[in-house]
Structure 1
Amino acid sequence: MRTALANGANLWNGAEFYGSPENNSLTLLNKYFAKYPEDAEKVVLSIKGCFSATTFAPDNSETGIRSSVDNCIKLLGPGKKIDFFELTRVDPNVPIEDAVKTLAALIKEGKIGGYMLCEVSEKTIRAAHAVHPVSGVEQELSVWTADVLADGSAAACAELGIPIIAYSPIGRGMLTGEVKSFDDLPEGDIRRILPRFQVLSSLLSLPEHPDVFDLNLKLVDELKKLAAKKNVTPAQLAISWVKARHLQIKGLTVIPNPGATTGARVTENIKSKDVEWTQEDEKEVNNILSSFEIKGGRYPDAFKPLLNV
């Protein structure tokens, strides 16, 4: 965390449900700002809430939002304010306009500085922004997950001046080239249930189908060749591509939000800012993507009702 901040990566994203109720990203941040109080004003903090990690259901009612915000403030402690509170998913039982009215009231009360949305459609972005300006939209965006560039949501963000916070910009680690087989994924890792990392024959009980994992790995291999040609790491290549999406949508601002568990990985990711992205690079990646059909969805079918709502 200190390495990130020292290198200018000061937009930090956590969640009420990342970890157990007693030991999560907010309690970690509490300890961090207690130890380094001088860093509080340097960090722009975005916290996701209003979502149950056990039921996988959002609660964007006024009671649900207020309860989540109050709990996040309690867990975070007095050392740092929540700059942006983020609705983890859109609640199908609550109109987004009503949810935003509650968030606007919390902003007025000084409990949060602003709000963000996550996994939302163009329609939802526009409806929310009309009630109170949206500060950011968190969407999955990477070389192998570019849906938002075609579904109107990124274009709406560009039009309204809303930055996209791109989560999983290195394809949940796949685009680093360091995940070479399904067995490389640790037990309990969420990727073990994501279709894009699976063996299709095991999902469909059809042995004649090839491994999805191995097919997707061919795309990674081609991207690794381009990275080597540019003398950068595959992760730096992937992050640079994400940052350059204004080449596709004029006026779009994208802030990559890669995860990291070591200072070395943080440093590697941040060095992507020094990578020059050229029109030739853009053309080469487009040619690579046109040659491969990415197999498998982003999430299992059970998650789909809460994606890009």
Structure 2
Amino acid sequence: MPKIVGKDIGKVGYGLMGLTWRQSPPSQEQSFQAMRTALSLGSNNWNGGELYGSPERNSLHLLNEYFTKYPGDADKVVLSIKGGLVPGQFKPDGSKAGVQRSIDECLKQLDGKKSLDLFECARVDPTVPIEETVGYIAEYVKAGKLGGISLSEVSAASIRKAHAAHPISAVEVEFSLWSTEILDNGVAATCAELNIPIIAYSPLGRGFLTGKYKKHSDIEPDSSLHHFPRFQPDVFDENIKLLHAVEDIAKSKGATPAQIALGWVLAHSGAKGMPTIIPIPGATTAERIKENTTPAKLEEADLKALDEFLKKFEVKGGRYHPSGSALLFA
């Protein structure tokens, strides 16, 4: 069983973003049901963010409410929170004042109902050396207010600098069948060398690899996906070919596309030259969480088929717009 900050976690974690960061978030009752289902099925590695919503309503507020109602679950959950941004903006602030404000606000919102196991800055602040930012976070670890330090969307060089300043407990990056950069840019290899687990966010390609969206018009009118380059109408029909390849394997194995996509991510966990990888799919219903916590076991032939397809397939569009992409792998 994988471990983070010395605590056992399930092989599949749970991303909380969709519970608060969308135009029409689910009700508290539905969110609580989803969270309890995830925990009951072993997905105890929860990932939220101060940025997942507004300063007035984000993951921290929901978590406070949840652990107020279910205090017995607090010690079962390993909680990681992203912050380190200017409040209300997607602008990194890795300064001492920025880090302190963010962590203090997270602790204030949790109000002692749950410890903060991991904290990470959502993006590297290009104006502050990463080892300095990590040093500011480390003060909270030394004071016993924080369990460990994680990093988000960082380069291999930044991982080494940060780890030299203070041991890093996890690295969160996007990793899926259509976001494979860490296999080639040194991030996965560096984490394996330093024995740092990778937390793989968006392992289902923001829902693309579940089969939910067969054509561009299937995307909900109020969905944030309309702002991502890979979901634009001029590239959608080309990108959908990846889903078709996943669906072919899913049919042969009696599984869903989501279970194949998650199985592919998990097949890399602990493989030769690879670190432990824990995918954190997000879901707002118990049904989807049950699906996500039963990933398919892929055979060598399945992996070979997918790898051969990926060699010939080129994803159209970046993961983020140019302004957001500038902060990736910093």
Measured against the shorter chain, the TM-score band is: over 0.9
Structure 1 residue 155 displacement after superposition? 0.4
Structure 1 residue 182 displacement after superposition? 2.1
Q: RCO (CA 8 Å, sep 6+): is it higher in 1 or 2?
A: 2
- Give aligned pairs, total: 296
Partner of 1:252: 275
Residue pair 2:270, 2:277 contacting (<8 A) in 1 also: no
Verify: 1:190 aligned to 2:224, yes or no.
Answer: yes
Give the % identical residues. Answer: 51
Structure 1 residue 184 displacement after superposition? 2.1
- Name the SS for the 1:13 alignment partner: strand
Partner of 2:163: 129
Question: Which of the numbers 205, 220, 229 marks the counterpart of 2:252?
Answer: 229
What do residues 72-117 of structure 1 show as CA deviations (whole Å, max 9, x unaligned)?
1111222101000011000001101111111111101111111100
Q: Map 1:140-155 onto structure 2 (within 5 A).
A: 140-155=174-189
Q: How far apart, in 2, do the equivalents of 1:56 and 1:22 lie?
A: 16
Partner of 1:158: 192
- Give 5+ residue unaligned stretches, structure 1: 200-210
Question: Which of the numbers 18, 27, 30 marks the counterpart of 2:64?
Answer: 30
Letter aligned with residue 259 of structure 2: Q
Q: How far apart, in 1, do the equivalents of 2:59 and 2:104 lie?
A: 15
Question: Which of the numbers 151, 159, 162 marks the counterpart of 1:117?
Answer: 151
Verify: 1:238 aligned to 2:272, yes or no.
Answer: no
What do residues 3-31 of structure 1 show as CA deviations (whole Å, max 9, x unaligned)?
01001100000001211222211111001
Q: How far apart, in 2, do the equivalents of 1:254 and 1:281 lie?
A: 19
What do residues 250-291 of structure 1 show as CA deviations (whole Å, max 9, x unaligned)?
24110001010101101100011xx32221111111122123
Partner of 1:286: 307
Structure 1 residue 181 displacement after superposition? 2.1
Q: How far apart, in 2, do the equivalents of 1:307 and 1:185 lie?
A: 25
For the aligned residues, what is the CA RMSD? 1.3
Residue pair 1:17, 1:52 contacting (<8 A) in 2 also: no
Q: Map 1:16-55 onto structure 2 (within 5 A).
A: 16-52=50-86, 54-55=88-89
Q: How far apart, in 1, do the equivalents of 2:162 and 2:146 lie?
A: 17
Structure 1 residue 188 displacement after superposition? 3.6
Letter aligned with residue 287 of structure 1: E
Partner of 1:94: 128
Q: Tell me: CA distance 1:63–1:238, structure 2 relative to 1, closer, same or farther (3 Å).
A: same
Partner of 1:178: 212
Q: How far apart, in 1, do the equivalents of 2:248 and 2:258 lie?
A: 12
Partner of 1:205: none
Q: How far apart, in 1, do the equivalents of 2:81 and 2:270 lie?
A: 29
Larger Rg computed on CA atoms: 1
Question: Which of the numbers 48, 52, 57 marks the counterpart of 1:14?
Answer: 48
Residue pair 1:163, 1:253 contacting (<8 A) in 2 also: yes
Letter aligned with residue 40 of structure 2: A
Partner of 1:203: none
Residue pair 1:139, 1:166 contacting (<8 A) in 2 also: yes
| Deviation larger for 99-108 or 49-58 | 49-58
Residue pair 2:270, 2:276 contacting (<8 A) in 1 also: no
Letter aligned with residue 301 of structure 1: P
Q: How far apart, in 2, do the equivalents of 1:248 and 1:191 lie?
A: 32
Verify: 1:266 aligned to 2:289, yes or no.
Answer: yes
Structure 1 residue 248 displacement after superposition? 5.8
Q: TM-score, normalised by structure 1?
A: 0.93
Letter aligned with residue 34 of structure 1: T
- Name the SS for the 2:325 alignment partner: helix
Aligned structure 1 segments of 4 or more residues deviating by more than 6 angstroms: none
Residue pair 1:195, 1:298 contacting (<8 A) in 2 also: yes
Structure 1 residue 163 displacement after superposition? 0.5
Residue pair 2:55, 2:88 contacting (<8 A) in 1 also: no
Verify: 1:106 aligned to 2:106, yes or no.
Answer: no
What do residues 57-84 of structure 1 show as CA deviations (whole Å, max 9, x unaligned)?
1101111001100101111222101000
Structure 1 residue 247 displacement after superposition? 7.0
